[in-house]
Structure 1
Amino acid sequence: MAKRLRTVLRWFSVGIIRWVLWTLLVIPLLLGAASIQSLAWLFAPFGGWLAGFVYPSLPFPADGEQPPTFRQFPPSAMTQTVMGGRGEGLNCSLPPVGKAFFKAPSGSADVSLHFRPSCVMHDLCYRHGAATYGYTQADCDYALQASAFRMCRQVRKAEKAVEKPQAAKSAEEEKVEFEDCQKQAKKVLLGVSLGGGQSFRAGEDSTYFEYDPMPEKADDYVIARAYEISPEQAAAGELGVFAYHFHRNSVTAQALKVNPGNPQRLLDSRSAAVPWPGQYIPTAPTAEWLGGGESALMALSRKGAFNTNLEFVKFDTRFKDGKTTLNFLTCPIPLKRCPVDSPAIGKMARMADGPALISLKRVGSESAKASMGLGQWNLETAERITHRLGDSPSIGSRYRFLQNELLLEKDAEGQNTHAWVLARGYDTDDGSIRTPEDGQGYRDRMLVVRQSLISGKASTTTSLPVAESGDPLFVVRLAPGAGVALAGLQRRSPSWWNMFSGTTPDESATLLTLWHLQDDGNSIEKPPISLPPPLDQTFIDRPPMVVDLAGIAAPVIVWTHVSDDRQTPALDLVLTALDPGQSPLPVLGAFKCELSLAEQIDLAAATNIREKAKYEKDANDSSAKEAAKLKALKDLLRRWKTSQTLVSSKPNGEGPADLAVTTVLNGFPRLSFQVVLKNENGGFTYKQVLPDAPHFKCGAVENGTLVSRQANQRRNSTVRLARSSTTSENTSGRE
């Protein structure tokens, strides 16, 4: 009893000391921040001078087109959504000093709301850009200032629509606006650099998530897409995955297939490099329905943010006799009426009357009385439908709609039925969208519009109490009869809070948030769902995938994590059912694959990695050889940690299709592997790994240990699933 009392007193004393230190630290910071921002009239001119001094000759776009908004690229037809963002929220986190650089009129919106669309893309670039597109921090920062410049032009356009609805700008006004937006963009870049420049995830700290609809700065990266195969193709060793290498305005394709002459390797089936059509930006494809019973991998390609020209590009990829061929077809049959111009980057949709292009658009003239809507272009008949958002005859500050991805909802048959539009800085009033000029509450509330894609059907509009820390949100179709919801991931407590509050790891777990939107517009917030014990916060560094599987009513979430071991890293794989009625989520299977880097690095497919590190297996200088080998192994580990994982269905010719989880090595698809899981009795069991190589040791995890199932394993070993505290800290990649 006395021992327990001493423990309680010690805990209480330490807690008091922590909160005293916390108070002493935070109160001066808050007072200082308030003082600095209150002196914006003084700091704003200085900020403009300082930004011009630090960035004296940044190039700026000469146009006033709207900047691109992020979108996700599901890698397979069975993938509902890929939940990127690492659960860290999205915002324009300008520090107080950075905000003091901007002098805003009384009653106008916060500068962080003005430039939030630019900051959202910048956040995703910092977290996923290096792994996905090879972006450097300079690439992300340059894209931020170009986007901020365009956002400034959009904000000025909205302000002018209120002040002078009909008046055209004079040449002098255009020049003043152009120079002012140059200055504002430089200040945004300077402010973000002061507040979060250290947040860039480089090397193995970055994770793969496709978010950029116009990757114009990316010229050397690999993406993978699943394609449908027959039981015979699966039995012959085809993985059902194409890998595409984008390099200097051309693309090379490669089907992943086990080498029939050596089952421990993948076949080298690369196609010739094919130039991208026209002068458009090479863009990743997604599986789309074209009508006439045909589906294909399609890309919506633009010439750049400066130009609204649009091209529909089909990836005509084929694999035969051990070789892959690739051709690009623009506006392919059976499409008949492809629009060649679109102000906003839209999405293709599968409708009852044919394929369509859905995109955001302005409704009405360029004035304060204009509204926002969805444009729906039938790609067979060229019929155009405009859906006005809400019951509002006019919506101000329309640039605020550029913050989030346009989301499309599908029914159980795969047809798109609704579009979801998300925005901050708005409110609702009896179904109408209200635009408070100051945008108050945008950090804590989100406007949600669920618009039917049937002509004449009204939309449902609501405002949800979703904080910026809960962004981004994704549309998920739940089990039959359960409807649809907006889903997001959120880390409960950031690390600096844990440091002061003493929060335990269990208390700072990741939460899955779900929001239902009923047909009458009322929202239902489900209690946050905790993740099961095998999953810690490192499992959301790599974006989880929500997929549909035959025989399982609820969607399945596939979670992955690559450990930090420098010799034998492992891919951890956990599958859970997305059942809102259960917390934590029920686990359907846990698996692990050990990856022997020392064996992989000597393979022929790893030649370029060895050459880059100057590692020669037969070198005489043992010390130089060992140093070069360590460098090559480090590069190989980085590529595994930044690899892409995709989920697809694999027919077996017997019962329900197997589940295939393919991990494509960053830059080197021939070193990839696929774990095949048997779908039975509402769960999954380990079946095999392809290729059947000794450097892949895979199996199910039982009672925290790996049970190897490979016939070619040379030793029986078990590997603890639980990582040491040091490993967990190194793999979390926290800011």
Structure 2
Amino acid sequence: MALTLIVCRLFSGMAAEKVFPDLAQPEETEAPSTFTTYRASLATEAILGGQGTGLNCSIPKLMEKIAFSPAEDGSAISLRFRQACVMHDLCYRHGYATYGYTQADCDSQLQQSAYRLCRQINRQGNSQDPLSAYAACEHEAKEVLLGVTLGGAGSFHSRRSSTWFEYDPQPARADDYIVGRAVPQETVSDPGRDFGVRTFYFRRNTVKMRVLATPPESSRVSALPFPGVLVVTPPIVTDRPSGEDAALPPLVSLARNSYSDTSVHLIPFAIARQETPQKSSHALSFPGCAQDACSQDADASINKLAVIDNQPVLVSLTHRGVLSSNKTTVKIEQNAFMPGDVRKPMTDYALNGPSTSVHNQYRFLSHDMLFERDDVGHITHALVFARGVGVSADGRQFIRDDSGEDYATRVAVARQRLGNGHTGEIQRFFLNAAETDEPLSSVRLGKAQGTALLALAWSAADLRRVESGKPANHPPLVKIWRLPLNGARPDPVPQALRVPVPVPNGYISLPPIMARLSTQEAPLMILTRVAPDRWQNENTRPTAVITDTLAIDFVMTSLLTEADGKNRFANSYQLRCEISLDKQLQSPEASSLRQRAYRIRYGRYNPTLEAQNPAWQLNVVKSDLARRWRMSQPIVSERQLADGPVMALTMVFNGFPAMSFQALLKAENGQLRYLPADTLPRFINSCSLKALANGQ
């Protein structure tokens, strides 16, 4: 058996070296990217990704024993390379729809990320000759890719099943994609026709903006070069500092030069209204600012923008410097984006105190750093997570736990108050959160109810069914860990609630959105599904259309908190908007899709070919429309109409935002009412709202 193991290990190593290419830029010492989430509107509290199947390093156990030598600290390979594997999981599920990533793009990113992570973990191995670790790490990165490829063979989601979820904080490989953002009400020119949503088309280091409205504004605007030859980065919806001196544009990017230069640049997105005798329009610009006010040299791979003490602050989790022999802690750093003459030093917070080491620091880098907000929406705390890290019984420090044997079933949490002078205000605790519960999200509960961490997951039985390609028997679960207002440790065991959807399948392919509206106290969960799940036959012959109608279903349900602290879903509704694919196909905005289909078939396009309208042609283009709806971006926002605020549900049509639509709902006397509007595109046959029974 020992001989067989040796032979298999040699074979797998040789296979990895033969199959996968060499890695470039060995001088890079930064850790790989950690996923993040982008809220698309001020109303968005969180986006629950993961599709209920969790995030992990899916290397088969047998492959792990064959290919990888045991680590000196006894940790599993799936723990050591978890950060790289998490990004790979999200890339496989959402990379195609969101960024246009191919499976090769995802695999190449995994290989490079595993290489960087190996360099971080083994950096202290030979301080005299740091280059000696390059070759070993390059080989191990190839074996990680081989193992994950074997374990996840066939699991890449292409255009048939990929869905929208922004997760990449530095999408350097993406060269042709569109994101949507809802802007504050004061930037909306015409409340009657302007959706309050702007889309940004990123291509070849340029940005082009479009205003979603009825009728849509022209897209014939010049593309702007992204400033400073930085890596093009989608904008963040910012909070609102008060006072003229603390002004912050509603949309900014946190951009960087590359992985080898960790300085962060704040890029404002300025949107100005332009009036002409014929019509009004909007223009995008990137106003310059003082270099010291818009740049921070933050040696960290996790960076977030927050408004703290009424000023914009870069909140970072250190990574590279902490792994050297003389820096063995992990810190939350705060750096204000202010001019140098008014900038004041802000407190850094070491997660284990100012003088206590944190071992296996890389384990803090596989999770997004979350923010906690108070009742009025101000950011108050940062939440940092790690698997395979121990917490002392008294919660005073993170303790050494080299093997991290229970990493798959529980997560350690650091909850640090932000701002200045809060060094002693940190909590350390465990949560019984499995990898299948990730990623976690922070959500404010009702007024004076505090904050909770939420996870989306299937039951154990349904998870086995979903992973084997079978439909779930029951709706998915939302797991809730409440963070006590008095600073006590939270209960590590979550409360589990079934999501009140009428049909379980398809409702978490597009990640649910937690939103907060000014018209109600409790947070609102919005789940989106494109139905039917199988719009067409799958065979080798030309596609046969089953139905012309496609439905977009939105389920909305309030997450209420009872007096005893327990939560429940209530006041649930389903909004169904039916789309005629025939009408959409004939709309003027679909002309480019029709023309492309003719070029694919005939190598050219002309009006004569289009006039013939062959049946196969219609089916092919309608198939493309249906798949693009499944890959579209849902946005939940709030609009201010003449008679008060309303909730807006927008679907940004994948790749062609001019064919997007928005539905409006108004809260009246504790009930939701659909607002019919003439702003819906003609291909929307109807939208209807119905109440769902409690517990459905």
Which interval holds the TM-score relative to the shorter structure? 0.7 to 0.9
CA deviation after TM superposition for structure 1 residue 607, in Å: 1.4
1:491-502 equivalence runs, <5 A: 491-493=458-460, 497-498=464-465
Distance 2:294 2:249 in 1: 17
**What is the SS of the residue equivalent to 1:314?**
strand
Deviations 1:675-694 (A, max 9, x none): 01112122311102463333
**What is the SS of the residue equivalent to 2:89?**
helix
CA deviation after TM superposition for structure 1 residue 182, in Å: 0.7
Q: Give the match for residue 194 of structure 1.
A: 150
The answer on whether the counterparts of 1:489 and 1:511 sit within 8 Å (CA) in structure 2 is yes
Of the three residues 430, 451, 457, the one matched with 1:490 is: 457
The one-letter code sitting in structure 2 at the alignment partner of 1:417 is T
The one-letter code sitting in structure 2 at the alignment partner of 1:370 is T
The one-letter code sitting in structure 2 at the alignment partner of 1:627 is W
CA deviation after TM superposition for structure 1 residue 613, in Å: 0.5
1:348-363 equivalence runs, <5 A: 348-361=305-318
Distance 1:459 1:280 in 2: 35
The one-letter code sitting in structure 1 at the alignment partner of 2:106 is C
Q: Give the match for residue 273 of structure 2.
A: 319
Q: Give the match for residue 640 of structure 1.
A: 629
**What is the SS of the residue equivalent to 2:122?**
helix
Deviations 1:618-650 (A, max 9, x none): 646999722222111111111111000101111
**What is the SS of the residue equivalent to 2:153?**
helix
RMSD, aligned α-carbons: 2.9
Distance 2:263 2:514 in 1: 33
The answer on whether the counterparts of 1:349 and 1:416 sit within 8 Å (CA) in structure 2 is yes
Cα distance change of structure 1 residues 371 and 324 upon mapping to structure 2, 3 Å threshold: same
The one-letter code sitting in structure 2 at the alignment partner of 1:169 is Q
Cα distance change of structure 1 residues 611 and 704 upon mapping to structure 2, 3 Å threshold: farther
Of the three residues 252, 256, 259, the one matched with 1:302 is: 256
Of the three residues 581, 593, 602, the one matched with 2:577 is: 593
Is it true that 1:628 corresponds to 2:617 in the alignment?
yes
Q: Give the match for residue 691 of structure 1.
A: 679
Q: Give the match for residue 60 of structure 2.
A: 95
The answer on whether the counterparts of 1:556 and 1:578 sit within 8 Å (CA) in structure 2 is yes
Distance 1:614 1:694 in 2: 24
Of the three residues 97, 119, 122, the one matched with 2:85 is: 119
Distance 1:482 1:387 in 2: 27
1:199-278 equivalence runs, <5 A: 199-229=155-185, 233-259=189-215, 266-278=216-228
1:485-634 equivalence runs, <5 A: 485-493=452-460, 497-498=464-465, 505-506=472-473, 508-518=474-484, 519-524=486-491, 525-564=493-532, 565=535, 567-581=548-562, 585-614=569-598, 619=608, 625-634=614-623
Distance 2:636 2:71 in 1: 50
The answer on whether the counterparts of 1:490 and 1:513 sit within 8 Å (CA) in structure 2 is yes
Distance 1:465 1:330 in 2: 47
CA deviation after TM superposition for structure 1 residue 500, in Å: 12
Deviations 1:164-206 (A, max 9, x none): 7xxx322xxx333101111001001111111102111100301
CA deviation after TM superposition for structure 1 residue 63, in Å: 1.1
The answer on whether the counterparts of 1:337 and 1:382 sit within 8 Å (CA) in structure 2 is no
The answer on whether the counterparts of 1:69 and 1:121 sit within 8 Å (CA) in structure 2 is yes
**What is the SS of the residue equivalent to 1:439?**
coil
Deviations 1:296-350 (A, max 9, x none): 20110112223213211111123334323111135579x9363144432311111
**What is the SS of the residue equivalent to 1:215?**
coil
The one-letter code sitting in structure 2 at the alignment partner of 1:412 is D
Deviations 1:83-116 (A, max 9, x none): 1121110000101243120001464211111100
Q: Give the match for residue 293 of structure 2.
A: 336
Distance 1:424 1:52 in 2: 30
Deviates more, 1:359-368 or 1:185-194: 359-368
**What is the SS of the residue equivalent to 1:245?**
strand
Of the three residues 361, 368, 372, the one matched with 1:398 is: 361
Of the three residues 400, 406, 420, the one matched with 1:435 is: 400
Deviates more, 1:346-355 or 1:240-249: 346-355
Distance 2:622 2:417 in 1: 52
Distance 1:693 1:233 in 2: 20
The answer on whether the counterparts of 1:588 and 1:684 sit within 8 Å (CA) in structure 2 is no
The answer on whether the counterparts of 1:271 and 1:324 sit within 8 Å (CA) in structure 2 is no
1:397-476 equivalence runs, <5 A: 397-429=360-392, 430-431=394-395, 432-457=397-422, 458-476=425-443
The one-letter code sitting in structure 2 at the alignment partner of 1:643 is S
Is it true that 1:63 corresponds to 2:28 in the alignment?
yes
The one-letter code sitting in structure 1 at the alignment partner of 2:164 is Y
TM-score (norm 2): 0.88
The one-letter code sitting in structure 1 at the alignment partner of 2:221 is S
Q: Give the match for residue 672 of structure 1.
A: 660
Cα distance change of structure 1 residues 433 and 39 upon mapping to structure 2, 3 Å threshold: farther
Cα distance change of structure 1 residues 96 and 687 upon mapping to structure 2, 3 Å threshold: same
Cα distance change of structure 1 residues 400 and 41 upon mapping to structure 2, 3 Å threshold: farther
Distance 2:84 2:322 in 1: 25
The one-letter code sitting in structure 1 at the alignment partner of 2:11 is F
The answer on whether the counterparts of 1:352 and 1:415 sit within 8 Å (CA) in structure 2 is no
CA deviation after TM superposition for structure 1 residue 529, in Å: 0.6
Q: Give the match for residue 712 of structure 1.
A: none
Percent of aligned positions with the same letter in both sequences? Answer: 33
Cα distance change of structure 1 residues 103 and 576 upon mapping to structure 2, 3 Å threshold: same
The one-letter code sitting in structure 2 at the alignment partner of 1:467 is A
The answer on whether the counterparts of 1:569 and 1:595 sit within 8 Å (CA) in structure 2 is yes
Q: Give the match for residue 540 of structure 2.
A: none
Distance 1:529 1:668 in 2: 37
**What is the SS of the residue equivalent to 1:586?**
strand
Distance 1:228 1:473 in 2: 27
Cα distance change of structure 1 residues 287 and 498 upon mapping to structure 2, 3 Å threshold: closer
Cα distance change of structure 1 residues 344 and 553 upon mapping to structure 2, 3 Å threshold: same
Deviations 1:199-256 (A, max 9, x none): 1110030110100001011111110000123598454411101011011110100111
Structure 2 gap segments, 5+ residues each: 536-546, 600-604
Structure 1 gap segments, 5+ residues each: 1-34, 260-265, 706-721, 723-735
The one-letter code sitting in structure 2 at the alignment partner of 1:427 is G
Q: Give the match for residue 72 of structure 1.
A: 37
Deviations 1:402-459 (A, max 9, x none): 1100111111222210000011010110221012111211111100111011333221
Cα distance change of structure 1 residues 112 and 39 upon mapping to structure 2, 3 Å threshold: farther
TM-score (norm 1): 0.83
Cα distance change of structure 1 residues 496 and 84 upon mapping to structure 2, 3 Å threshold: closer
Corresponding pairs, count: 652
Deviations 1:652-672 (A, max 9, x none): 2223x0011111101111111
The one-letter code sitting in structure 2 at the alignment partner of 1:578 is L
The answer on whether the counterparts of 2:578 and 2:684 sit within 8 Å (CA) in structure 1 is yes
Q: Give the match for residue 378 of structure 1.
A: 336
The answer on whether the counterparts of 1:649 and 1:659 sit within 8 Å (CA) in structure 2 is yes
Distance 2:653 2:294 in 1: 38
Q: Give the match for residue 538 of structure 2.
A: none
CA deviation after TM superposition for structure 1 residue 268, in Å: 1.9
Of the three residues 104, 107, 111, the one matched with 1:141 is: 107
Deviations 1:529-583 (A, max 9, x none): 1111425241111011111111311101111111134521111011100125477
Q: Max radius of gyration: which structure?
A: 1
Cα distance change of structure 1 residues 608 and 682 upon mapping to structure 2, 3 Å threshold: same
CA deviation after TM superposition for structure 1 residue 501, in Å: 12
